[in-house]
């Protein structure tokens, strides 16, 4: 394990550390001290929120003492506020006063026994709780306030993921509420060893971030590195896990994604059980998984719900499609420009006859079509759904046919561009297909300059770059380079689930055995009617 630790080069003395919740609002000039006089506390809070329209306060009486309920109306459910807070407080006012009414603990136990709560002993804590959707009950002559968590505003219901199509498997996806997302993971993994730790990121947004992992399985060195990098995030606002990804990734100057993301709870749960770490952010339906290697982006959770023969075939198709997306257009440029001898004579004559009236060289011709297709693809994504898909299909057909008839491009080129574009959609992870789309343009330019030698040189540079990448200290091409025989059962092909006994060895988990007593199923003995002879 010590040798694995040496892969990490970041030092803890560079850690800026997390901002304490008690110190978040120091720069706003809020007094830390919570005064026993209600009016003084209200003056401080009103001064802070005087320009916001959603700050509200309701004055109450508890016995002969003045009180006030303060909250931000846009962060909580007002009907629940009335039912869980205001109604019990009205009952408290009706009851005869006793010395117990001056005890905040008694009031909470008597009138709010089923409501989640926290105490605010400083104004810093009080403001923080209001911003997180709590209703804060302040009573005169008390040294602390009671913050009640009555539930937030309406949120999007759980629905099918929009970026990862599901044929077989659970059809529920993450939403923008982090507590709901954690609940979806716990629904899959009912184990006390599943741990979630909270952080706050963004000096102004103060967004809640949680990391989830299996205690007793996860590699502690990787876990420490994840916490260290999260603590070092220094930005005014973190609004999506994409922002977090750029801060914690090992290398930003690369086309390839180094961190896996998913909207599917079953995908995240499966990775956590493998010994990886999930990163969830409040306000984002996408959850990150670290560490992630190159082969993870060719796998889908749905692979484990289909027969393993079919899954293995589909995985091979994905790898082949990736190479087609990368090299197909550039091979056309190289062969038609420099290497005519590689094509059969009838095919060469056919292609050259189609290009007879085309005024542009092959590289200009294919760059025009590739850029046109990228514009159509982006327009289809950004336009309203009702017309976006229609625009992409009809636009490609109309523009492609018009370009051929106008003599700007050849028929065979339209086929090549369309096939390579379709192959890019085979990848289960969208941001991985983006890397192939970008590298494709580099290969086209190199093919126009040096022919097949340029393509080969570019691919060698790409492989060298991939070998040099690290993801939380782990080589990005693991378990292919360095080659790990034990991990090959779930890379290019998938063995049956009962034969997949071990977690990935490159994670160096505390519990490397995943399925200890799994074995191949067998049919019952026909001669004994399905019963064992010794029974």
Does 312 share its domain with 282? no
pLDDT at 33: 78
Does 252 share its domain with 115? no
- The Cα 304–Cα 122 span in angstroms is 51
pLDDT at 281: 94
Residue 416 in domain: yes
Does 320 share its domain with 436? yes
Residue 172 in domain: no
Domain boundary at 475, 498, 525, which? 475
Residue 489 in domain: no
Say how many C-beta atoms besides its own lie within 10 A of residue 220's C-beta: 15
Residue 206 in domain: yes
Residue 400 in domain: yes
- The Cα 320–Cα 426 span in angstroms is 10
CA 249 to chain centre: 13
Does 318 share its domain with 441? yes
Domain boundary at 292, 318, 338, which? 292
Does 121 share its domain with 205? no
- The Cα 484–Cα 505 span in angstroms is 8
pTM here is 0.81
CA 444 to chain centre: 32
- The Cα 158–Cα 171 span in angstroms is 9
- DSSP H helical ranges for 285-429: 308-337, 345-354, 362-382, 385-405, 411-424
- At 493, list the tokens: 């092909």
Does 352 share its domain with 455? yes
Does 280 share its domain with 410? no
Does 260 share its domain with 388? no
Which run of H or of E encompasses 87?
Answer: helix 87-94
Does 312 share its domain with 441? yes
Does 287 share its domain with 352? no
The CA-atom distances, in angstroms, between 446 and each of 341, 373, 511 are: 20, 21, 47
Q: Is 383 exposed, middle or buried (0-12, 13-18, 19+ CB in 10 A)?
A: middle
> Residue 230 in contact with residue 199, Cβ under 8 Å?
yes
Residues of the chain with pLDDT under 50: 1-3, 6-22, 27, 532-535
Residue 7 in domain: no
Torsion of CA 254, 432, 413, 405, to 10 degrees: -110
How many helices and strands in the chain, by DSSP H and E?
A: 17, 12
Does 282 share its domain with 366? no
Does 244 share its domain with 322? no
Q: Which domain holds residue 265?
A: 178-292
Residue 23 in domain: no
Q: How many domains does the chain have?
A: 3
- The Cα 238–Cα 168 span in angstroms is 34
Which run of H or of E encompasses 56?
Answer: strand 55-62
pLDDT at 228: 93
Domain boundary at 265, 292, 319, which? 292
Which run of H or of E encompasses 374?
Answer: helix 362-382
- SS3 at position 174: coil
Residue 493 in domain: no
pLDDT at 2: 46
- The Cα 37–Cα 30 span in angstroms is 16
């Amino acid at each position: 394990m010590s040798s694995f630790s040496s892969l990490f080069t970041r030092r803890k003395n560079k850690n800026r550390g997390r901002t304490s919740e008690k110190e978040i609002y120091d720069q706003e000039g809020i007094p830390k001290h919570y005064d026993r006089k209600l009016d003084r506390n209200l003056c401080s809070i009103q001064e802070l929120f005087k320009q916001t329209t959603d700050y509200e306060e309701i004055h109450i009486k508890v016995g002969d003492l003045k009180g006030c309920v303060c909250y931000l109306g846009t962060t909580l459910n007002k009907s629940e506020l009335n039912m869980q807070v205001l109604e019990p407080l009205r009952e408290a006012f009706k009851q005869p006063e006793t010395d117990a009414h001056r005890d905040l603990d008694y009031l909470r136990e008597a009138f709010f026994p089923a409501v989640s709560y926290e105490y605010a002993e400083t104004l810093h804590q009080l403001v923080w709780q209001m911003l997180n959707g709590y209703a804060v009950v302040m009573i005169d002559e008390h040294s602390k306030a009671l913050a009640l968590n009555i539930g937030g505003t309406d949120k999007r219901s759980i629905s099918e993921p929009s970026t990862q199509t599901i044929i077989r498997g659970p059809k529920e996806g993450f939403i923008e509420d982090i507590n709901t997302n954690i609940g979806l993971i716990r629904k899959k993994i009912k184990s006390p060893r599943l741990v979630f730790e909270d952080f706050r990121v963004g000096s102004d947004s103060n967004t809640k971030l949680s990391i989830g992992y299996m205690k007793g399985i996860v590699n502690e060195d990787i876990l420490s590195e994840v916490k260290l990098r999260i603590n070092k995030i220094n930005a005014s606002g973190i609004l999506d896990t994409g922002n977090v990804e750029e801060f914690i990734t090992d290398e930003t100057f690369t086309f390839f994604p180094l961190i896996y993301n998913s909207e599917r709870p079953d995908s995240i749960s499966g990775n956590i059980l493998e010994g990886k770490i999930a990163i969830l952010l409040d306000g984002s339906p996408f959850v990150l998984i670290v560490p992630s290697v190159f082969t993870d982006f060719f796998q889908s959770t749905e692979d484990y719900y289909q027969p393993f023969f079919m899954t293995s075939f589909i995985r091979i198709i994905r790898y082949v499609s990736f190479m087609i997306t990368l090299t197909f257009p550039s091979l056309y440029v190289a062969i038609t420009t420099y290497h005519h001898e590689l094509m059969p004579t009838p095919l060469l004559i056919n292609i050259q006859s189609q290009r007879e009236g085309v005024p542009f060289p092959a590289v200009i011709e294919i760059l025009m079509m590739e850029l046109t297709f990228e514009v159509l693809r982006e327009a289809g994504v950004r336009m309203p759904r009702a017309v976006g898909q229609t625009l992409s299909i009809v636009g490609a057909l109309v523009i492609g046919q018009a370009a051929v008839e106008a003599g700007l491009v050849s028929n065979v080129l339209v086929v090549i561009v369309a096939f390579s574009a379709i192959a890019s959609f085979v990848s289960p992870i969208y941001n991985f297909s983006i890397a192939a789309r970008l590298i494709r343009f580099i290969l086209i330019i190199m093919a126009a300059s040096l022919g097949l030698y340029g393509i080969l040189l570019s691919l060698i540079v790409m492989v060298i770059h991939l070998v040099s990448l690290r993801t939380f200290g782990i080589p990005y091409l693991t378990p292919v380079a360095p080659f790990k025989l034990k991990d090959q059962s779930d890379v290019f092909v998938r063995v049956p689930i009962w034969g997949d006994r071990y977690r990935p060895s490159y994670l160096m988990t505390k519990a490397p055995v995943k399925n200890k007593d799994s074995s191949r199923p067998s049919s019952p003995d026909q001669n004994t009617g399905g019963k064992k002879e010794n029974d």
